[in-house]
A and B are shown apart, each in its own frame.
Chain A
């Protein structure tokens, strides 16, 4: 069976979602040196917030907004409270974020129960349209478009604004930036909040076609880890390449090697890490 256009689209739309989630992850990892293992929990939380808002208001757009703002706020609190205590200790930050993930997920279970929910999409995005030689769901094409827009927006932010310039400089050498008289803490905070908001956006986007349920956080986290590790810490382009690779590998793995589906993703990732520990586009610090 060949890789027809249908499977190709499946891979690409999944990749778009992975990019949205992983771009936030990689920015935080790149600049703050925090491997935020609570990123998946933020994704799930965003999805739930978006779901509740969309149900209450009947508006998908408001759901997206609520998710991004709500999760950004959680990110802000996280950065200003808990992470304060462990600043500068890479491993303590990782393990602390792991604890945060456990607590957030459990809280979500208490608040939303264990049912699986799907964020309702607007009528405009329902149904399928003819694409190439097949029919394809509009919503998934919308996710693909959102992924591309997110990439462009982030690229412009990083390459055309002062904040972006500071972030890029900070990824390469945070101390240099600080020495030049910039309050790097503010840049850190902005990045953390932005990265969290992207997780929230991903939660609503994914929650509308992959459903929200306990343990959805771990699944998306593992995929995002793979994307960031393959792409390289802090690299937006790397995250995009990583997302497309993981998205396509995942689709191909399930179609061609169902027994080895996970191996198809994590085998190459482990091999890559072993020989290029910094990922495809990662740079040494």
Chain B
């Protein structure tokens, strides 16, 4: 497989030649990922995930060749929008996949709303995209909504007997939604959210927050961090001696493989909730992790996993419709109806009627492997968790969405 744009310049005329030949033309997939900027490493792993699946599929979906066109969104919504335009209008891709940061995803979603291009978002977790503000051609294949995994963690924390918890999170939608999911369920189960801290993305020095966290007298802390912020937070949390004193819980991205890969003992023992755990004792997961390590010499992160499964999902849908990627309506219907039963999760997954998957959610802990590396190992599980937790979709969506000011914290 040639994973580069150069291939695109090969012979544009040939692609337009005849309808009969068009059937044989490759399926064009536009992949958007942050290859430069703060999230460059996550972006590279996204591309790895897609590449791994396409290679394993022999570079063919439903008998048609697959052409990946990868564009760098620069971790920047303006760039993402510009590149999405280019993929759709100039490269004429059949569908778009990817993006990592919520703001890049929202920008691209706003654009495809107008063009009708199918847009699959295995990483973009903004609740709204599969709830009140859903767009018919935007589907979260193999992804998750931000608060989906935070809800069960809030329940678990309450059952641990934690009475007082503080949250700290990045000050943007993804952070607001996860903290709200956690805080809502935890406080409704009788816990008390003592205080919530919001800090800008790319906070280099957490010491001002750590100083305040230390003096609150809480039983545990919930941290919603991504990328370099997560690295720094975990490290500084340990350096300031808080690790021994206050148990730390994290959003799944806080202890994702992309973060703990470069960390040492600081990350050991942090508890998080997620639908995927690279250290799960499940044959399908083990096989996937082994193959990923063999190909890229890295334990897969959530980014690699999600893009791998997302591509698998779309490929399966394409098989059902005979590879007619140009038929947008058929592709979207097929994707929505597909039940993924052979993914690395090792359990079947399908979408709810709003285009978001329903998962068994693991509660997992960061554990040291015999080789000294760290990974997430599950020790408890919540079955069939939808994005609406145990509320009905109607009841859930009648309330205003989670936001910084809408955290649904019950005062106990």
- From A1, A115, A219, A254, contact of B258 by CB (8 A): A115
Tell me, yes or no, whether A109 is within 8 Å of chain B by CB: yes
Tell me, yes or no, whether B198 is within 8 Å of chain A by CB: yes
Tell me, yes or no, whether A90 is within 8 Å of chain B by CB: no
A-B contact pairs, 15 of them (CB 8 A): A14-B207, A114-B37, A114-B38, A114-B40, A116-B41, A116-B232, A126-B239, A137-B240, A139-B239, A210-B204, A211-B204, A213-B228, A214-B40, A258-B198, A261-B200
**B contact residues around A1 at 8 Å (CB):** 212
Binding site for A on B (CB under 8 A): 36-44, 198-200, 202, 204-205, 207-209, 211-212, 214, 227-228, 231-232, 235-236, 239-241, 258, 261-264
**A contact residues around B258 at 8 Å (CB):** 115
Tell me, yes or no, whether A80 is within 8 Å of chain B by CB: no
Binds B, one of A3-11, A25-33, A188-196, A273-281: A3-11
Complex-state Cα separation, A106 to B263, whole angstroms: 24
- From A4, A115, A216, contact of B204 by CB (8 A): A216
Complex-state Cα separation, A118 to B263, whole angstroms: 8
Which of A106, A113, A115 neighbours the largest number of chain B CB atoms within 10 Å of its CB?
A115
Residue interface mask A13-56, B partner, CB < 8 A = 1: 11000000000000000000000000000000000000000000
**B261/A115 in contact, CB under 8 A:** yes
**B contact residues around A135 at 8 Å (CB):** 240-241
**B40/A211 in contact, CB under 8 A:** no
**A211/B232 in contact, CB under 8 A:** yes
**B38/A215 in contact, CB under 8 A:** yes
**B228/A116 in contact, CB under 8 A:** yes
**B contact residues around A118 at 8 Å (CB):** 231-232, 235, 262-263
**A contact residues around B261 at 8 Å (CB):** 115
**B240/A106 in contact, CB under 8 A:** no
Complex-state Cα separation, A10 to B258, whole angstroms: 28
5 additional A-B pairs beyond A114-B43, A127-B241, A209-B205, beta carbons within 8 Å, are A136-B240, A213-B227, A214-B36, A254-B209, A255-B212
**A213/B38 in contact, CB under 8 A:** yes
**A117/B262 in contact, CB under 8 A:** yes
- From A7, A117, A137, A210, contact of B241 by CB (8 A): A137
Distance in Å: Cβ of B218 to nearest Cβ of chain A: 16
**B contact residues around A128 at 8 Å (CB):** 239-241
Interface size on A, residues (CB 8 A): 39
Complex-state Cα separation, A210 to B203, whole angstroms: 9
Tell me, yes or no, whether A251 is within 8 Å of chain B by CB: yes
**B44/A114 in contact, CB under 8 A:** yes
Distance in Å: Cβ of B322 to nearest Cβ of chain A: 39
**B235/A211 in contact, CB under 8 A:** yes
CB nearest neighbor in A for B171: A258
- From B37, B202, B208, B214, contact of A255 by CB (8 A): B208
**B41/A113 in contact, CB under 8 A:** yes
Distance in Å: Cβ of B302 to nearest Cβ of chain A: 15
Report if A254-B40 is in contact (Cβ < 8 Å); known contacts: A10-B208, A210-B205: no
Task: List A residues 188-229 near B (Cβ within 8 Å).
Answer: 209-211, 213-216, 219-220
- From B39, B207, B235, contact of A251 by CB (8 A): B207
Distance in Å: Cβ of A43 to nearest Cβ of chain B: 12
**A215/B262 in contact, CB under 8 A:** no
Report if A254-B231 is in contact (Cβ < 8 Å); known contacts: A113-B44, A209-B236, A213-B38: no
Complex-state Cα separation, A128 to B236, whole angstroms: 11
**B contact residues around A120 at 8 Å (CB):** 264
**A contact residues around B200 at 8 Å (CB):** 261
- From A14, A114, A210, contact of B232 by CB (8 A): A210
CB nearest neighbor in B for A8: B211
CB nearest neighbor in A for B263: A118
Complex-state Cα separation, A115 to B232, whole angstroms: 12
